[in-house]
A = this chain, B = another copy of it.
Amino acid sequence: MSIETAISALRNLLEDRLSTNKTVRDQHGQNEAYFPVTPPDAVAFPTSTQEVAQIVKICAEHDCPIVAYGTGTSLEGHQLAIRGGINLDMSRMDKVLAIHDADMDVVVQPGVTRIQLNDDLRATGLFFPVDPGANASLGGMAATRASGTTAVRYGTMRENVLALEVVLADGRIIRTGTRAKKSSTGYDLTKLFVGSEGTLGIITELTLRLQGQPEAISAATCCFDAIDDAVKTVIATIQTGIPMARIELVDAKTAHGFNLYAGTDLPEKPHLFVEFHGSETGVAEQAELFGEIVAEHGGAEFVWTTRTEDRNALWKMRHNAYYAQVALEPGLSSGATDICVPISRLSEAIDFAVAEGERLNLTVLVLGHVGDGNFHCTISFDPEDAKQYGRVQEFIHNLNRTALRLDGTVSGEHGIGAGKMKYMQEEHGEALSVMRALKQALDPQNLMNPGKVIP
């Protein structure tokens, strides 16, 4: 019973869809977090739920860890096989199985990506709203409870997964939830698996809620002299009940970075990037109301557009904030972290991030989905400079402690993975023992993504 014997049993099952090739393993050991390359012992490429179940049974028999792998875009190393074993690469389970346009839901395999799904949906007048930026797989997005720029209006994966098919740690296959919009029949297993980061089972099918494409979409940008005025504008906007589709904060440094890499001429000040969805008149009314709030808080350069190409350029720029960082500090690496706080504490949290970055002499960009109280800090560092990297770690640590002090959470959307386990006890207290009991009940051998989520 070992990883080695598991691999030979898996090879019999999967033949050339099991790879121990170094290039393939290294590729799966890459990560967008700050972890060293961590290759698994092998990579399996299942093509069906039944096959996933067979793989899981073999792994259980041989005590071999299994880590599901989507597109590898996680930011906390979720997909890394840190205790060895196999990566289950779900990219060949990439079928859209059923589009129920009348019910506004869709059934997909876990390897379907967000952009692939929306391409498939284009003709239906429907779209899937959750948008974390990266073209992540939907299985991975569910497993990490992803969200992104549109969560303020449409919710996170938590609100948008109706039902799941899951392979349990012993190879049994279950279905959670139904296509009905609500239910009160027993424990909400769908919500238990969403955000469980592959530690309780492998998601093999998802039923997702869809939205109608809005009749009208418009976007706007505006800027402020001080970041605090931008944040206050966000708070007032949310409290006024304007149904913002996106409301993103971008700090002055990031605006500067955008100008460098995208050739824009944004004023190098804190900005809000926003989007409105609704009817023609609704969108105009929302924009007008928002414009009034911006003016009240000293905002300027309010630019409003309904042109699709302008909007696309805006969000492409926003999603490529990584390149802004690179443009600001060429040749350096970049680390990202996110926290989420009640919106009344958002100013305090962002003020802390800015001051702490200055104190530690780090280039910190602040940007994020501030309508939810969620923001990101990306920090440039030289991987060769251990002292500087220590300050990056100190920054992240102090920011996470600040989130907890302000009644918030150490991650709004990036998740725990291997990176944030050290905060689980402090954030959850005794509730962590309940999570541990659930993990023990569903994965007694601790083979499902071991070393993640539960310390």
Q: Could you tell me which A residues sit within 8 Å of B by CB distance? A: 100, 102-105, 144-147, 151, 155-156, 158-159, 168, 172-176, 178-189, 191-192, 194-196, 200, 211-212, 214-215, 235, 238-241, 279, 281-282, 285, 340-344, 372-374, 403, 407-416, 420, 423-424, 427-435, 437-438, 440-442, 453-454
Residues of B within 8 A of A191 (CB): 158, 188, 191-192
Neighbour of A239 across the interface among B180, B212, B281, B437, CB < 8 A? B212
**A441 nearest CB neighbor, chain B only:** B441
Task: Known contacts A428-B186, A438-B441; decide if A181 and B373 are in contact (CB<8 Å).
Answer: yes
Given known contacts A176-B431, A186-B416, A187-B196, what 12 new A-B pairs fall within 8 Å (CB)? A158-B191, A168-B434, A174-B433, A175-B431, A176-B428, A178-B407, A180-B372, A181-B343, A185-B424, A185-B427, A187-B195, A189-B434
Q: How far is the CB of A273 from chain B (nearest CB, A)?
A: 19
Q: How far is the CB of A185 from chain B (nearest CB, A)?
A: 5
Residues of B within 8 A of A373 (CB): 180-181
Interface centre among A281, A341, A409 (most CB of B within 10 A): A409
**Is there an interface contact between B429 and A175, defined as CB atoms closer than 8 Å?**
yes
**Is there an interface contact between B102 and A235, defined as CB atoms closer than 8 Å?**
yes
Task: Known contacts A178-B427, A179-B407; decide if A214 and B187 are in contact (CB<8 Å).
Answer: no
**Is there an interface contact between B412 and A183, defined as CB atoms closer than 8 Å?**
yes
Neighbour of A282 across the interface among B185, B282, B343, CB < 8 A? B282
How far, in whole Å, are A239 and B212 apart by their CA atoms in the complex? 7
How far, in whole Å, are A146 and B184 apart by their CA atoms in the complex? 8
